[in-house]
Amino acid sequence: MEKIHIQNIIKSFFLGIFIGIVLQFNDIELTGSDRILLVLSSGMMGLSIGFVTEWITSKIPISLAKPLNYFLINNMIALIVTTCIMLFALATIRSELNNISEFLPILGIVLVIVFVANLGDYILFLRAQSKLKIYKGKLKEKVSK
């Protein structure tokens, strides 16, 4: 449990809420209470996706701990877990959908948002590492003077 990053799970919750807000633009017929339920349920789905993704990622051997490998594996796990949970959601609401082709654009939107969020997380990581190297260089200069 010590390798699970709680902040990533919390990020997944807020990403789920964001996805719920984006998905509201897809269905204009929703009532106010349905819109709130959509946002809350997508937030909870994001929370569960984040937890499962972090739990699986924590089982990865430390030998694969290079940043690029970690982010690629984490992204693949997140996309697979998201697809599985979305397919489970499809199975539970199948009576409300006429056919699966109505569900595929929603799944595509969700997967693109998850991918872009993971890519953004990796870019922020690289940026932080770059700033850290610059800061270490400045510290070395001050110490050597």
Q: Report pLDDT for 9.
A: 87
Both tokens assigned to 134: 């610059």
Q: Report pLDDT for 140.
A: 81
What is the per-residue DSSP string for 38-61?
HHHHHHHHHHHHHHHHHHHHHTS-
Digit-by-digit pLDDT tens for the chain (145 residues) are: 467 778 888 989 998 898 888 877 766 676 777 778 878 888 888 888 888 988 888 888 877 778 888 888 888 988 999 888 888 877 776 666 666 777 788 888 889 999 999 999 899 999 999 999 888 888 888 777 6
Residue 76 in contact with residue 114, Cβ under 8 Å?
no
Q: Report pLDDT for 124.
A: 92
Q: Report pLDDT for 95.
A: 61
Q: Report pLDDT for 97.
A: 62
Distance between CA atoms of 73 and 59, rounded to whole angstroms? 11
Q: Report pLDDT for 119.
A: 92
Neighbours of 43 (CB within 10 A): 20
Distance between CA atoms of 37 and 41, rounded to whole angstroms? 6
Q: Report pLDDT for 112.
A: 92
Distance between CA atoms of 59 and 62, rounded to whole angstroms? 9
Q: Report pLDDT for 128.
A: 92
- Nearest Cα residue to 80 out of 58, 111, 54, 103: 111
